[in-house]
Amino acid sequence: MDVFITGLGAISCLGDGPEAFWKGLHAGRSGPTPVESLTGQVRAPLAYQVPPATDASAHAEDDATRGRVSRFALHAARQAVVDAGLTGEEVAGMAVVIATAIGVCEEREDAFRAGVPDDAVWTPSFSVASAVGDALGSFGANISVSNACAASGYALSVAMDLVRRGEAETVLVGGAEGSAGVPIAAFDRLGAIDPDGCRPFEADRKGTVFGEGAAMLVVQSARAAAGRRTYGRLSGTAWSCDAYHTTAPDPGRRQLVRAAREALRDAGCGPEAIGCVIPHGTGTQPNDLLESETLRDVLGQRCDSTPLFSLKAFIGHTAGAAAAFSAVCGALVLRHGQVPPNIALARQDPACDVWLPQDGPTPLPRPGVLINSYAFGGSNVSLVLDGGLP
């Protein structure tokens, strides 16, 4: 059964809404800002943060009792619902599947700094999906996914399954994160933060940098999408697990290759259908190298003519929301028929033998987008979007 993308929502360091997101990707510049609460506590207290004015504007309509991450999610969700033109009945019946790796960690940290005792109030860590379902009045399946940085890729796969199995006609799916101190400090202890920003595939890259915000999509069955403007189809997905190391990727890459090839098989296509890749591309030395080699295996000679769009160079690593942001980006690439220019690299790592166009938009050569998302613990997921019509 076909699964169509009918609505998008996004809030990030690039601004508020899918249009601001798309314009920001074409601006060709972005950068992290200091996380004030972490200054003096970690070596690189940086994140790609939602600007204060955008943050305040986005949260004005939301319930002030909800945490910041939940408000990000709810704001992007409302955008996606409006974009899809959902009726009240459709919103009431839709499923909600939202990913977050960090959850409401920021709320817990705020309470700690305010001196609130740990046992004074119980706050579940992964309550974003339930908060969105509650606020929108949605009574379909409500699912929270939290397997580290691949979480929203898995959430998109769950949403596809709900539609394909006939368990939901409409699903709101996505991810949300905030720039909490604990995960940033943990990456700092691992030596995995690049003080110069997130620079995937750069020769002297030193690590990644967190980003925050929320990305949401409305996906629907062909019957529910009929008569609506669509961004294309969510046509293929596959999971795999390295079971190799808690944090390090498997240098053998077998499970990375497996996930991408099985996603293509699920979509009913081969590498000849892929016109763009939105890689996981975190900016860490091993990840970028292994993913480049994986794409060489999966795409073969077509790798030379398939543009990569390095999204994290613009918005940082949005952890559990990363694949959802990639899916919003992929849907916009399909809508506009072009791949935005990558942020210019000082020098591309010659070992990362992939094409990263930097001189201007690149026409989408083929109507398929491959998305990769990887995580600690060896969780891998690949997705395929295409330009199919209902």
Residue 318: give its domain's CATH number.
3.40.47.10
- Token reading at 348: 């591309």
pLDDT for 37: 75
Q: Residues 40, 45, 51, 56: is their CA dihedral positive or negative? A: negative
| DSSP reduced 3-state for 220 | strand
373/151 Cα distance (integer angstroms): 8
Separation between Cα atoms, residue 216 and residue 104, nearest integer Å:
18
- At 379, list the tokens: 């969780």
Please give the residue range of the domain that contains residue 167. 3-386
Which residues pair with residue 46 across a beta bridge? 34
pLDDT for 26: 94
Q: In the chain, where do the E strands start and end?
A: 3-12, 15-16, 33-34, 46-47, 95-99, 142-145, 170-177, 213-221, 232-241, 276-278, 338-339, 362-363, 368-374, 379-386
CA–CA separation, 23 and 284 (whole Å): 27
Residue 274's nearest CA partner among 288, 287, 254, 260 is: 260
The answer to whether 175 and 322 have CB atoms below 8 angstroms apart is yes
Q: How many CA atoms lie within 13 A of 89 on its CB side?
A: 2
Tokens 């169509």 correspond to what residue?
Answer: 4
Contact 173, 331 (CB under 8 A): no
The structural domain count of the chain equals 1
**Mean pLDDT, consecutive 10-residue segments, the chain of 390 residues?**
96 96 90 80 82 78 75 95 98 97 69 61 74 94 92 96 97 92 77 88 94 97 96 96 84 94 97 97 94 97 96 95 98 97 96 96 95 92 88
Q: Helix (H, G, I), strand (E, B), or coil: what is residue 381?
A: strand
Quick one: pLDDT at residue 179? 80
Predicted local confidence at residue 381, as pLDDT: 97
Q: What is the pLDDT of residue 87?
A: 97
pLDDT of residue 98: 97
Question: How far is the C-alpha of 377 from the C-alpha of 147, rounded, in Å?
Answer: 9
Asked if 358 contacts 32 with a C-beta cutoff of 8 angstroms, the reply is no
